[in-house]
Amino acid sequence: MNSLAYQIIFYLFAAIIVGSAALVVISKNIIHSAFGLLFTFFGVAAIYVYLNADFIAVTQIVVYVGGILVLLLFGVMLTNKITQADLKTETLNPVPGLLITLSVLAMLLYTFYFRAKWVTVPVDQQLRGTVVEPIGIATMTTYVLPFEIVSIVLMVALLGAAYIARADRKVQTKEGK
Amino acid sequence: MNALALLLVMELGDRFALMGVVLGVLLTAVAYTVYAERRIAAFIQNRTGPDRVGFDLIPQLKFLKGAIGLGQPLADVIKLLMKEDVVPENANKFVHALAPLISLFAALTTIAVVPYAKGVAIADVNIGILYILAITSLGVYGITLSGWASNSKYSLLGGLRSSAQMISYELSMGLAVVSVVVLTNALNMGEIVESQTSNPLNWNVCRNLLGFIIFTTAAFAETNRAPFDLPEAEQELVGGYHTEYSSMKFALFFLAEYANMIVACTVIVTLFLGGYQVPFWTDAPWFVQVGAFITKTLFMMFVFIWVRWTLPRFKYNQLMDLGWKFMLPLGLFNLLIVASTIVIFGNSLPLSILNLVLVALCVAGSFAAKPQSKMA
């Protein structure tokens, strides 16, 4: 009974991902697209939970849903005319597009069925407990250099954004004091 | 029945049953929190508050009539349900209807990982505390989208204010949570409570007083409660993000706001006040633990209401200054102190002693100082 319930929940989330991803692409309203993306991220997080990657699932929500998508929505809402603009969603070049889509699909299916080396771990060897500790240790020892480089890249991006955004705001900040 | 035995039989069905119980209790509690808020506000302002509505239709409950007004929440709910549901003509109808649902979803799902007694939680996940941070960040959407979808300037400004506020205070909240994780060495909510033991000196409020203050302040801001209730500053913004909402949709926002407050209290209790731990009684029976948990939560809710009717609202620039220039550095400083104490001494005893001394100094200082000196 339990495995059936879990399967139903899995397919529910799979349907949410596919449906909302379709909304992102098809919708003519940019807010609706951003909104669809919210549910896509959320569903993907649920799939991570099914893969026993709870930390990645939560990070997905904290970073993408709680951070990036909020910023995206802010950007869209504060930019006056974007919300009213119709996005172009009609089909262009149907035949070449269909060909490319089908060939990519065929490649993916071929890889999944014949080339991929799926790892199946017996139940008793599966990852138990929290994965946060191994992730933290690996980040701080083996992968400390990439970790630091990423943080420097983010720092530079932040400084650049702050520089661009504050360039002509000097009068206002004085007023705020 | 022992709590441990309950843990062993917690299968999927039991978890669903527990979820039903918790949701029922939570939603009833929301109605009576509104009542409690009005009564306490009235008490603080030297008024009477709602005292008329009783349960006169039921003969057995006639003794509740008058004076205490316990039927008020029921009457309020019926009133809200009966009202006309107005949707602005130029509103984005779909998002307008969905926004209150998102708010309520974020408020109600957080409670899933909070343990009510030893081993009793709807979802005892390994990364409970991260889950709470993740779901809290969803609450921004309900408010932002309701502000945008109403197609009204007041709503939009209220929504933007509120989301900026929530994003700013999430950082200090996260830092306070990290200091708790460093102290308790666990991400699981049950383990966080277990590590605080039944000795109140081991509770995180003693070991990590600064973190407690930062987290509670951030929780005020996250739940949009006074003194951080700028999003719905009546004088400036009419009703804020829910200006254009009426009837049941408004009731949903109302419900979400108070549910958020209760859930924030349960999280504060779990992280800092020892959760279900009964003082000086290790391995208490499960109903005593649930009782202790509820008592602590009620106390924190009283603090929330008390603060709301005591402190005036911040200005927006003060709010941002407090969040970014004071709370964030303070959170980092607190994390530094907690982490270095753990590394140097190997346990958190020095922190408890330091905090006790600080509290004693503050209390002595407040008695010694003249009332005027508080103005500085």
Domain containing A63 equals 1-89
- At residue A16, the pLDDT reads 92
User: Is there a single domain that holds both residue A85 and residue A135?
Assistant: no
Average pLDDT of the segment spanning B211-233: 81
The DSSP line for B52-92 is ----TTSGGGGGG-STT-TTHHHHHHHHHHHS-----TTS-
- At residue B140, the pLDDT reads 81
Distance CA B299, CA B303 (A): 6
Q: How many structural domains are present in chain A?
A: 2
CB–CB of B156 and A73 under 8 A? no
- At residue B46, the pLDDT reads 86
Distance CA A159, CA B210 (A): 30
User: Is there a single domain that holds both residue A83 and residue A146?
Assistant: no
User: Is there a single domain that holds both residue A6 and residue A63?
Assistant: yes
Test mutation, A76, A77, A126, chain B, max B CBs within 10 A: A77
Nearest CA in chain B to A1: B12
Test mutation, A8, A52, A70, chain B, max B CBs within 10 A: A70
pLDDT of B376 higher than 50: no
Nearest CA in chain A to B156: A77
CB–CB of B160 and A74 under 8 A? yes
pLDDT of A106 higher than 90: yes
Distance CA B34, CA B262 (A): 11
Query: Among A55, A62, A77, whose Cβ lies nearest the Cβ of B137?
Result: A62
Average pLDDT of the segment spanning B307-335: 85
- For helices B209-222 and B349-368, angle between their N-to-C axes, nearest 10 degrees: 70
Examine residue A70 and state whether it is found in any structural domain, yes or no: yes
**End-to-end CA, chain A:** 63
Phi, psi of A79 (to 5 degrees): -90, 105
Query: Which CATH number goes with the domain that contains A69?
Result: 1.20.120.1200
Highest mean pLDDT among A116-120, B25-29, B115-119, B162-166: B25-29
Number of inter-chain CB pairs under 8 A, A vs B: 69
pLDDT of B2 higher than 60: no
Average pLDDT of the segment spanning A103-116: 88
- At residue A17, the pLDDT reads 93
User: Is there a single domain that holds both residue A75 and residue A14?
Assistant: yes
The DSSP line for A6-65 is HHHHHHHHHHHHHHHHHHHHH-SSHHHHHHHHHHHHHHHHHHHHHTT-HHHHHHHIIIII
Q: Which of B222, B233, B28 is nearest to B107 (CA)?
A: B222
Q: pLDDT-derived band of residue A108, with 50, 70 and 90 as boundaries? A: very high
pLDDT of A128 higher than 80: no
* Phi-psi region at B125: left, alpha or beta (left = phi > 0; alpha = psi -120 to 50): beta
Most distant pair of Cα atoms in chain B: their distance: 67
Cβ neighbours of B78 (radius 10 Å)? 10
Q: pLDDT-derived band of residue B1, with 50, 70 and 90 as boundaries? A: very low
Test mutation, B138, B317, B322, chain A, max A CBs within 10 A: B138
User: Is there a single domain that holds both residue A7 and residue A68?
Assistant: yes
Residues B2, B7, B11, B17: what is their CA dihedral angle, to the nearest 10 degrees?
60
CB–CB of A31 and B95 under 8 A? yes
- At residue B169, the pLDDT reads 84
C-alpha neighbours within 13 Å on the C-beta side of residue B118: 20
Q: A66 vs chain B: nearest CA distance in angstroms?
A: 5
pLDDT of B339 higher than 70: yes
Instruction: Give the A-side interface with B, CB within 8 Å.
Output: 2, 5, 31-32, 35, 38, 54-55, 58-59, 61-62, 65-67, 70, 73-74, 77-78, 83, 129-130, 132, 176
Q: pLDDT-derived band of residue A86, with 50, 70 and 90 as boundaries? A: low
Query: Among B92, B130, B140, whose Cβ lies nearest the Cβ of A58?
Result: B130
Tell me: the pLDDT tens digits for B65-106?
655 777 788 888 888 888 887 777 777 778 788 888 888 888
* DSSP letter, residue A120: -
Residue with tokens 């998102």: B102
Q: pLDDT-derived band of residue A20, with 50, 70 and 90 as boundaries? A: very high
pLDDT of A122 higher than 70: no
Percent of chain A with pLDDT over 70: 80
> What's the mean pLDDT when you consider all of chain B?
80
Instruction: Give the B-side interface with A, CB within 8 Å.
Output: 11-12, 92, 94-95, 125-127, 130-131, 133-135, 137-138, 140-141, 144-145, 148, 156, 160, 163, 167, 170, 187-188, 317
Examine residue A99 and state whether it is found in any structural domain, yes or no: no
Distance CA B53, CA B69 (A): 5
Distance CA B355, CA B367 (A): 18
CB–CB of B141 and A31 under 8 A? no
Each domain of chain B, given as residue ranges in start order, spans: 1-74, 83-366
- At residue A177, the pLDDT reads 41
CB–CB of B126 and A5 under 8 A? no
Phi, psi of B325 (to 5 degrees): -95, -15
Tell me: the pLDDT tens digits for B175-185?
888 888 888 88
Average pLDDT of the segment spanning B360-365: 81
Nearest CA in chain A to B130: A58
Examine residue A55 and state whether it is found in any structural domain, yes or no: yes
More confident residue, B146 or A52: B146
Q: pLDDT-derived band of residue A84, with 50, 70 and 90 as boundaries? A: low
Distance CA B359, CA A116 (A): 62
Q: Which of B109, B28, B263, B164 is nearest to A46 (CA)?
A: B109
Q: B348 vs chain A: nearest CA distance in angstroms?
A: 21
pLDDT of A124 higher than 70: no
More confident residue, B331 or B247: B331
Quick one: how far is CA B3 from the chain centroid? 26
What's B177-222 look like in SS3? HHHHHHHHCCCCHHHHHHHCCCCHHHCHHHHCHHHHHHHHHHHHHH
Q: pLDDT-derived band of residue B7, with 50, 70 and 90 as boundaries? A: very low
Chosen domain end from A31, A57, A89: A89
CB–CB of A58 and B12 under 8 A? no
Buried b / exposed e along B144-165 (16+ C-beta atoms within 10 A)? bbbbbbbbbebbbbbbbbbbbb
Test mutation, B15, B101, B126, chain A, max A CBs within 10 A: B126
Tell me: the pLDDT tens digits for B279-312?
887 777 888 888 888 888 899 889 888 888 888 8
Q: A167 vs chain B: nearest CA distance in angstroms?
A: 20
Percent of chain B with pLDDT over 90: 0
User: Is there a single domain that holds both residue A8 and residue A62?
Assistant: yes
**End-to-end CA, chain B:** 55
Distance CA A58, CA B136 (A): 12
Q: Which of B191, B245, B230, B198 is nearest to B313 (CA)?
A: B230
Q: Which residues of A touch B12 (CB under 8 A)?
A: 2, 5
Distance CA A174, CA B343 (A): 43
By the 8 A CB rule, do B124 and B115 touch? yes
More confident residue, B40 or B348: B40
When computed from its CA atoms, the radius of gyration of chain A, rounded to whole angstroms, is 22
